[in-house]
Structure 1
Amino acid sequence: MKKILNSALLLLILASCQNTKKDSSSNSKEGYSNRIIEKHWSYNGETGPEHWKEIETYSNCDGKYQSPINIVNYNLDETLSDLSIFYSDSTHIHDVINNGHTIQYNFDLGDYITIHGKKFSLKQFHFHEPAEHLIDGIRYPMELHLVHVSNAGEYAVLAIMAKEGQSSKPFDFLESYLPINVGETKNVDLAFDMNLNLPKQKTFFTYTGSLTTPPCTESVEWYIFKEPITVSLEQVEALKKLMPMNNYRNEQPINGRTIKV
């Protein structure tokens, strides 16, 4: 009888230890999850660009080849491959979201570009006000980023500068889905001709850099169009009201990279 009681007592102690271990693990996991939620990046203060490396666990924001940069001292490259753009006149915009950092329009599969024969599908485009890249030290009022991804998960981004001038009809269409609150998503579910937001002249600067937001992934192929598009002051202001003030990352060191044109 005594032997049975001792065995039962031993089982109770083991069960208690397992529950304690499980509870400890659960609390640890919950605490980690909460810390991740609290660690949110922004464009200023303690969560601004100077602290992005500290905020993002797997961040490359202190890497050697970061973006944006000042487009200066570029080299004429006669062997530079043409950028091939394959945008239809009826690509489907799925939705628009205000993610707290920018206004972003998401696309269904269809439009794509090819670089050195490799296909990159257009996933989304978003806005920075003012522009992130500088061209010969000049910062434009706004910059559009058209983000493309290959099947291998590689990034290629087309950057389009916007200056104040004539009103843009494509922008009128896009802004018809605004305003939109932070964290809100609105269905668009309509066709859109992304070609209308491209400059007439497709000449560009190109270099290898990074994403300009955490985790600042490197080996991103950047193509910055030389010619800006025009948007009205009212169109710029409509976007500006919905995005954080100055939602751009400062110029990063070139660190010996070649800017081709």
Structure 2
Amino acid sequence: MKHSLILLITILIISCVQKTDLHKDAHWSYEGETGPVHWGEIEKNSDCGGLFQSPLNIVNYKVDSLLTPLKITYSDSTHIHDIINNGHTIQYNFDSGDYITIEGVTYELKQFHFHEPAEHLIDGIRYPMVIHLVHKSENGTYAVLAVMAKEGKSSKPFDFLESFLPIPVGENRIVDSAFDMNLNLPDNRAYFTYSGSLTTPPCTENVQWFIFKNPITVSLSQVEKLKALMPLNNYRDEQSLNDREIKLSK
């Protein structure tokens, strides 16, 4: 009996050590032992276990008449420098030139990437795809624009972006071509806004989010082409609101 108890304890200790080592050496993903619920364990110095995380279900928002239209300064000829398949998404990196201005602070567009389906929900509805445009200020703070996409009419800008695909996981490809990011923004630019985080590790908080209320349209074939190159369901589940306020511009 004593030997059996010692054996059981030994097995449990080994199991715990192996699990700890797995999290210690693993890279994050969207499923299983390295999925979103474990990001805080895998990324020890991250904000992934914080109280003000993203994405959210955009509900119980308030219209704020004081919110002004977004000051988006996107050139029609800014260059996409390169494209990378990082194993989590397809990401396009920009040369300097495009930026947004928020309360007098300039945030330069660094890159945009895709999630299928979308991460934020709007009134409980999850769109089939979203583009996240990630901007960064000189002092290191982030502002992200989220452009929802629904299936419908084919998008010519998407045809251009997908002309550089496919690209294998872990590889990047120089693009060095001009692109007008304005073409991938909705005509009606009413937006939801709140303070949250990046939706992938390190889940940095104090990120200003601007989620356009209205989606753009892309064709089913365009959605499927991207989907085939990214992890299945590369989205993080909705996080707790924790007394944050969500505002809607007019």
State yes or no: 1:230 paired with 2:217. yes
How many residues align? The count is 228
Unaligned ranges ≥5, structure 2 = 1-20
Deviations 1:187-241 (A, max 9, x none): 1001000000000011100000000000100000000001100000000000000
Contact 2:23–2:41 at 8 Å: present in 1 too?
Answer: no
Counterparts of residues 65-144 of structure 1 (less than 5 Å): 65-144=52-131
Contact 1:93–1:192 at 8 Å: present in 2 too?
Answer: yes
Partner in structure 1 of residue 9 of structure 2: none
What is the CA–CA distance in structure 2 between the aligned matches of 1:112 and 1:35, rounded to whole Å? Answer: 40
Contact 2:119–2:130 at 8 Å: present in 1 too?
Answer: yes
Partner in structure 1 of residue 134 of structure 2: 147
Contact 1:161–1:225 at 8 Å: present in 2 too?
Answer: yes
Deviations 1:132-187 (A, max 9, x none): 00000000000100000000000000000000000000000000000000001011
Which is helix-richer, 1 or 2? 1
Q: Cα distance, 1:38 vs. partner?
A: 3.2
- SS of 2:62's partner is coil
State yes or no: 1:178 paired with 2:165. yes
TM-score by length of 2: 0.89
What is the CA–CA distance in structure 1 between the aligned matches of 2:103 and 2:160, rounded to whole Å? Answer: 33
State yes or no: 1:191 paired with 2:191. no
The root-mean-square deviation of aligned C-alpha atoms, in Å, is: 1.4
Identity level (%)? 71
Contact 2:77–2:180 at 8 Å: present in 1 too?
Answer: yes
Q: Cα distance, 1:78 vs. partner?
A: 1.9
Counterparts of residues 25-104 of structure 1 (less than 5 Å): 38-104=25-91
Larger radius of gyration: 1
Report which stretch shifted further, 34-43 or 210-219: 34-43
Q: In 2 relative to 1, CA 36–89 (structure 1 residues): closer, same or farther, beyond 3 Å?
A: farther
Q: Cα distance, 1:82 vs. partner?
A: 2.8
What is the CA–CA distance in structure 1 between the aligned matches of 2:97 and 2:163, rounded to whole Å? Answer: 23
Unaligned ranges ≥5, structure 1 = 1-33
TM-score by length of 1: 0.85
Deviations 1:16-69 (A, max 9, x none): xxxxxxxxxxxxxxxxxx999932000000000000001012111110010000
What is the CA–CA distance in structure 1 between the aligned matches of 2:102 and 2:240, rounded to whole Å? Answer: 25
Deviations 1:235-257 (A, max 9, x none): 00000000000000000010110
Q: Aligned AA for 1:243?
A: M
